[in-house]
Amino acid sequence: MLAFSPIGAALRNRIRDFPSIVNCTTIDWFSEWPPDALQAVAKQFLGSIEMDAPIREACSEMVMTFHTTTQTAATKFHNELRRVYYVTPTSYLELINTFKTLLDIKRKEVKGQKDRYSNGYDCLIGTESKVNVMKQEIIDLQPILIQTGKETAEKLVIVTAETEAADKIKSAVSIEEADAQKIADEANAIKTDCET
């Protein structure tokens, strides 16, 4: 038993190279599967994917509809443009495998986004609870802050008064220092005069 696909030039080249394929064999063309066979194959291939039964049924019907509409479009394409486009069982199996691959990619993508949103939401909730704790601590410390502010204001008044008193003493001391310097200068002048 030999199996060939009519797509491309491979079958034509083999028949040309080996004419006995046509002369000494019986060719059975299996080009179209009936819709129930397409759906059964889709159910078999999609059986390994984790999904609910109604969704699996809808997906198998969807890929079967894609394949049958592609066959219809290929016939229309042939009638209008006189070009043959082969829709084979292999292309149907490729369609199912592509669907499975894309479904897996999209599920991982959606799961990743869901995990990111979930982590972000958890962080927001955790931050909100921490902010509430800090807010309560600030509210609890506010009376202490007011009391400390009052004590600081009282100490500031005392320091201001003491600074003013110190300034008065400083000015008096500077006057006395100037007088003492004057007397010291006079004494030095007398000393210098005596020494000469």
Q: What is the pLDDT of residues 61-83, one digit of tens each?
A: 999 999 999 889 999 999 999 88
Q: How far is CA 191 from CA 6, 67, 177, 179, 180, in A?
A: 134, 128, 20, 18, 16
Question: First and final CA of the chain: distance in angstroms?
Answer: 145
> DSSP assignment, residue 52?
-
Rg (CA), the chain: 50
Tell me, rounded to whole angstroms, the distance of Cα 126 from its chain centroid: 19
> What are the tens digits of pLDDT across the range 113-172?
999 999 999 999 999 999 999 999 988 888 888 888 898 988 998 998 889 888 888 888
pLDDT of residue 51: 87
Q: What is the mean pLDDT of residues 168-187?
A: 88
Q: What is the DSSP string of 128-195?
A: HHHHHHHHHHHHHHHHHHHHHHHHHHHHHHHHHHHHHHHHHHHHHHHHHHHHHHHHHHHHHHHHHHHH
Confidence of residue 104 (pLDDT cuts 50, 70, 90): very high
Cα separation of 154 and 174, whole Å? 30
Per-domain residue ranges of the chain: 1-30
Q: Which two tokens stand for residue 100?
A: 């499975």
Q: How far is CA 94 from CA 77, 91, 128, 170, 195, in A?
A: 21, 5, 51, 101, 125
Question: Could you tell me if 15 and 21 are in contact, meaning their C-beta atoms sit under 8 angstroms apart?
Answer: yes
